[in-house]
Amino acid sequence: MVVDRRPCRRLLASRAVYVSREDARSDVILAGATTLFGGVVIGLLSAFPFYPRGGVTGVALDLVWIFVLTGLVPLLLARYRDQRLGAFGLDGPRAWRSGLVLVVPVAALGVLRQFVSLGPGDTALLGRIGGAGFSGVGTTTAVVLGLLAFVVTSFGALLLTTFLVVRGRDAFRSPDVSLTELLRTFGIGAVAVALVLGLMRSLGAAQLLPTLLQVAGLAALVLVADRVVQTRRMAPRAAVLTPVIVLGVAHVFAFGGLFRGDLLSGLYAGALAAGTATVTAVLLETRERAWAVVPLYLALHWWPSCLSPLPMEFFAAAC
């Protein structure tokens, strides 16, 4: 008699990836606190005279810090919980090609933004390999550093945001809402908030066109994602709100916080990041199209902009 052990294996696998509400909540706090307050620690360390600044060594150390503050803690927590891709919602079918259509608005925004800010003849139109942002090094070194920065920021942002989505789903009690309603409520809401704050921020400054480009890029991303998601599946509201709140607050902190910084710019950048976090959460909750976030995040960090979930201090991109 042959016994089919596959159902038992699936049951054991489901138990292996189970995380209690308390553990999920502590994971959210650990990952979020590292991103929110890690920059303060780095600021204290950089005040010492022996801290390397500029050059290849300084840039390499900055890249290490970026990954420490973004992807490292989620990666370690996933390993500690004996999870792999499931901790990031990427344990489903690897249907990443559905995400190529999401690259279009991001790439268009990146090219137009570089064109407006730097002109048509600048090599920064090539994105990360343009070498922009690296002074005092040769062209080849700048290209290599640009590629390293692209890899670190892309996967750091991807690991952090997807981890917050998955843990937020299990950490907090919230009603289930349809994915399309979540995307249209929080995605379009983020676009509206970013537009209002961006217009207020651009008064008296030459920032109107870049602001409109950023907001239009987010609006296009949400609309394209709405076409991709088309499903009646439900998801906990906390799966969207957790990354939206954590990453929104991180952007406010990056601009100096509530009292000693540029609060308006921080809220504007946070609204843009909240829109991208919403798109990410909804794509992950579709399960079969979760891998669509991979090409999206690669495009987001090939041309750094405020659509990235990462605060601007992590990749020196002006909003």
Query: Which portions of the chain are predicted below pLDDT 50?
Result: 1-16, 124, 316
Rounded Cα gap, residues 252 and 271, in angstroms: 10
Which pLDDT score, from 0 to 100, does residue 7 have? 44
Rounded Cα gap, residues 125 and 114, in angstroms: 6
Give residues with Cβ within 8 angstroms of 136, minimum separation 6.
54, 55
Which pLDDT score, from 0 to 100, does residue 17 have? 59
Three-class HEC string of the chain: CCCCCHHHHHHHHHHHCCCCHHHHHHHHHHHHHHHHHHHHHHHHHHCCCCCCCCHHHHHHHHHHHHHHHHHHHHHHHHHHCCCCHHHHCCCCCCCHHHHHHHHHHHHHHHHHHHHHHHCCCCHHHHHHHHCCCCCCCCHHHHHHHHHHHHHHHHHHHHHHHHHHHHHHHHHCCCCEEEHHHHHHHHHHHHHHHHHHHHHHHHCCCCCHHHHHHHHHHHHHHHHHHHHHHCCCCEEECHHHHHHHHHHHHHHHHHCCCCCCCCHHHHHHHHHHHHHHHHHHHHHHHCCCCHHHHHHHHHHHHHCCCCCCCCCHHHCCCCC
Q: pTM, whole model, 2 decimals?
A: 0.87
The pLDDT tens digits for 231-287 are 788 999 999 999 999 999 999 888 877 767 788 888 999 999 999 999 999 999 998
Which pLDDT score, from 0 to 100, does residue 79 have? 92
Rounded percentage of the chain residues whose pLDDT exceeds 70: 84
Which pLDDT score, from 0 to 100, does residue 61 have? 85
